[in-house]
C-alpha cells in the first residue's frame, strides 16, 4: 500500500492477498501429488536457460490457471515463462512454481514461492505487499509474510491448513549456514566471510540445494543462507522478482536481514523481469558482517 492508496485500494489489495495465499495453500497437495510422474525433463528451457522439469511446467500451468482466475489479480508472472500474463486488473503475482526442482530426482525438499506486488512488473522491492512459500518436506508447510509478521501453517492432504506458529522470529543465536555456488567461483570478500563462518564453533553447514529448504532452516534455527556473487556470474543465480524479493521480505519480517552484498534486497532495483541478484539472508549480525566485507 503506497501513501496514495485509498482505503478501498488497501482493502482490495488485502482481499487479493488472502485469495492468493488460499489458492497457493490449496494447490500445494495437488502439486505434491502430481510430482511422482513428473521427475523428467520437459522439452523446453525456462527464460534463465535452465532445463525445465515436467513438474515445473505442471505447477506453473496449475498456478497460472488458479491465480489468474482470482478477482483482484491483474498480472501473473513466473520463472517458467518469458513474459507476464495479463489476467485482469489488480495486484501483480510472481511465482516460482517449483523452487529447487533439481531436487526432484534425488527426492529432496522443494518449494513454491509467491510474491504479491502493488504495481506493474518488473516491480520494485518496496512494492511487495506479501510473500509466501510452501515447503514440500516430510510434511507440507507454508510461511506467509504480510504487514511485518510471518505466520507458519501446516497444509493437510485434504488441502485444509492450520496455523502452526504465529509471529515466526529468527532465533537470536544462529546455528546453521548454507552457501551455494561452486567454491572456486566465490569472490575474495565472500571467501573470507565464509572462512570465518566455517571456523565459528557455534555454526554448522546445512545446504540442501533448494532455496526454500535452506531458508526455512535459517528461519527455524537462525543462521545465514547465501547464493553469492560468483566470479563467473556476478549477479549469482537467483531471480530478484521471484526469489530475492520474496525471501528478503519474509526473512526481514521475521526479524532477520537481507542483502545483495551492499543493501537490503528490497532496495535492489532491476528493470528485467528475470534479472538475477546475489542473495544473502539471515540473522542481522551475520548480514552486517557480510556487508562489511564487500564495503572494504
Ligand atoms: O532456483 C534455483 C535453485 O534451485 C535454488 O532453489 C537453489 O538455492 C539453487 O538453485 C541451487 O543451485 P545449485 O544447484 O547451484 O546449488
Q: What fold is seen in the domain 176-295?
A: D-Maltodextrin-Binding Protein; domain 2 (3.40.190)
Q: Please report the pLDDT score of residue 1 as a whole number.
A: 57
Q: Please report the pLDDT score of residue 8 as a whole number.
A: 87
Q: Ligand 1 center to residue 260 CA distance, Å?
A: 16
Domain boundaries, the chain: 3-165, 176-295
Pocket test for ligand 1, best of 46, 179, 228, 238 (most atoms within 8 A of CB): 238
Mean pLDDT of 41-47: 88
Q: What is the pLDDT of residues 214-243, one digit of tens each?
A: 999 999 999 999 999 999 999 999 999 999
Q: What is the pLDDT of residues 77-120, one digit of tens each?
A: 999 999 999 999 999 999 999 999 999 999 999 999 999 999 99
Q: What is the pLDDT of residues 136-185, one digit of tens each?
A: 999 999 999 999 999 999 999 999 999 999 999 999 999 999 999 999 99
Q: What fold is seen in the domain 3-165?
A: Fructose-1,6-Bisphosphatase; Chain A, domain 1 (3.30.540)
Which H helix or E strand runs over 290? helix 284-295
| Distances from the Cα of 4 to the Cα of 103, 116, 216, angstroms | 43, 18, 34
The count of C-alpha atoms lying within 13 angstroms of the C-alpha of 98, restricted to the half-sphere facing its C-beta, is 28
Count CB atoms within 10 A of the CB of residue 33: 10
pLDDT exceeding 70 applies to what percent of the chain?
A: 99
Q: Ligand 1 center to residue 98 CA distance, Å?
A: 11
Q: Where are the beta strands (DSSP E) in the chain?
A: 41-45, 51-53, 72-78, 85-86, 90-99, 110-117, 128-136, 140-146, 149-155, 161-165, 176-179, 204-205, 223-227, 257-259, 279-282
Cα separation, 245 vs 36, in Å, equals 30
Q: Please report the pLDDT score of residue 135 as a whole number.
A: 98
Pocket of ligand 1 (CB under 6 A): 99-100, 102, 180, 209-211, 227, 237-238
Q: Please report the pLDDT score of residue 3 as a whole number.
A: 61
pTM, two decimals, is 0.96
Q: Please report the pLDDT score of residue 93 as a whole number.
A: 98
Query: What average pLDDT does the structure give for the chain?
Result: 96
Of all protein residues, the one whose alpha carbon is nearest to atom 4 of ligand 1 is 100
Band the pLDDT of 262: cuts 50, 70, 90: very high
Task: Tell whether 96 is in a known binding site.
Answer: yes
Amino acid at each position: 500500500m503506497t501513501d496514495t492508496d485509498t482505503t478501498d485500494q488497501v482493502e482490495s489489495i488485502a482481499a487479493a492477498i488472502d485469495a492468493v495465499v488460499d489458492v497457493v495453500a490449496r494447490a500445494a497437495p495437488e502439486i505434491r501429488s502430481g510430482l511422482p510422474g513428473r521427475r523428467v525433463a520437459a522439452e523446453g528451457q525456462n527464460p534463465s536457460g535452465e532445463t525445465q522439469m515436467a513438474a515445473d511446467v505442471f505447477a506453473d500451468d496449475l498456478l497460472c490457471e488458479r491465480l489468474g482466475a482470482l478477482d483482484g489479480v491483474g498480472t501473473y508472472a513466473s520463472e517458467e515463462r518469458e513474459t507476464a500474463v495479463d489476467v485482469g486488473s489488480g495486484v501483480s503475482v510472481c511465482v516460482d512454481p517449483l523452487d529447487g526442482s533439481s531436487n526432484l530426482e534425488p527426492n529432496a525438499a522443494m518449494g513454491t514461492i509467491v510474491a504479491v506486488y502493488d504495481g506493474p512488473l518488473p516491480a520494485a522491492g518496496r512494492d511487495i505487499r506479501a510473500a509466501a512459500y510452501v515447503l514440500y518436506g516430510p510434511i507440507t508447510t507454508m510461511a506467509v509474510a504480510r504487514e511485518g509478521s510471518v505466520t507458519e501453517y501446516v497444509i493437510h492432504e485434504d488441502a485444509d491448513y492450520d496455523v502452526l506458529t504465529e509471529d515466526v522470529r529468527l532465533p537470536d543465536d544462529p546455528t546453521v549456514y548454507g552457501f551455494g555456488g561452486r567454491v572456486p567461483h566465490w569472490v575474495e570478500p565472500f571467501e573470507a566471510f565464509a572462512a570465518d563462518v566455517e571456523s565459528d564453533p557455534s555454526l554448522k553447514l546445512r545446504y540442501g540445494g533448494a532455496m526454500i529448504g535452506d531458508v526455512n532452516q535459517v528461519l527455524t534455527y537462525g543462521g545465514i543462507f547465501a547464493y553469492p556473487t560468483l566470479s563467473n556470474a556476478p549477479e549469482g543465480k537467483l531471480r530478484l522478482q521471484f526469489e530475492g524479493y520474496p525471501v528478503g521480505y519474509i526473512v526481514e519480517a521475521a526479524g532477520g536481514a537481507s542483502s545483495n552484498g551492499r543493501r537490503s534486497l528490497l532496495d535492489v532495483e532491476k528493470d528485467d523481469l528475470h534479472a538475477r541478484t546475489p542473495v544473502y539472508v539471515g540473522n542481522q549480525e551475520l548480514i552486517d558482517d557480510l556487508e562489511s566485507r564487500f564495503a572494504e
